[in-house]
Amino acid sequence: IAWYLAEMATVLDIELEEVLERNIEKLSRLNGHIKIVLGNHDTDAKVRDYLKLPNIELVNNQLYANIVKVGKWTFYLSHRPTIMGDVLAGKREPREFCIHGHTHSDDPFQFIQYCCYNVAMDAQDNRPVNVKRIQEELREKVGKKRQDYENMRKMKEMIGK
């Protein structure tokens, strides 16, 4: 199963039909069952074209999100980034994250502080990203962020004495 978090392209109406055809062709080349979470630029025309493909399923209608559990992890799959918490809060590293697109940033960790991971094509070298890789990158980045925070806290404590 592949999850697609919407919005392959946003273009002027003049180019829309040509771009839609090109993007639908790209979607048709993806293997397996594809579940689509709609985004803010997914027009009725785009949705109709998505549904022409035999391996496509719309999973959220107008809710813009879906929750998926992978082992002890919970992923809130959303087109837009949604705050899920604070990676610095609590004694344990978080296991609930929003996996999103929408921002057009090339930084997958743009909102890591708030437990968000960007899988937009801009942030992933125009390639799909595997859930195992997401988990590995989150473990590494969150661990480093928490360690940096702890080091800063200790340094402030030493300076204050």
What is the DSSP annotation of 106-134? Answer: S-TTTTGGGTEEE--GGGTTTS---HHHH
> Average of pLDDT values for 116-143?
91
Give the start-end residues of each E strand in the chain.
2-4, 34-36, 56-58, 65-70, 73-78, 96-100, 116-118
Q: Which of the four pLDDT bands, split at 50, 70 and 90, describes residue 63?
A: low
So what's the pLDDT on residue 44?
Answer: 83
**Residue with the larger pLDDT of the pair 102 and 20:** 102
Quote the CA–CA distance of 101 and 5 in Å, as a whole number. 6
So what's the pLDDT on residue 24?
Answer: 77
Quote the CA–CA distance of 39 and 6 in Å, as a whole number. 5
So what's the pLDDT on residue 100?
Answer: 92
Identify the DSSP state of 24. H
Most confident segment among 54-68, 82-96, 126-140: 126-140
Quote the CA–CA distance of 40 and 141 in Å, as a whole number. 29
CA distances from 61 to 57, 78, 84 (A): 10, 12, 21
59, 90 in Cβ contact below 8 A?
no
Hey, what are 96's tokens?
A: 């609930």
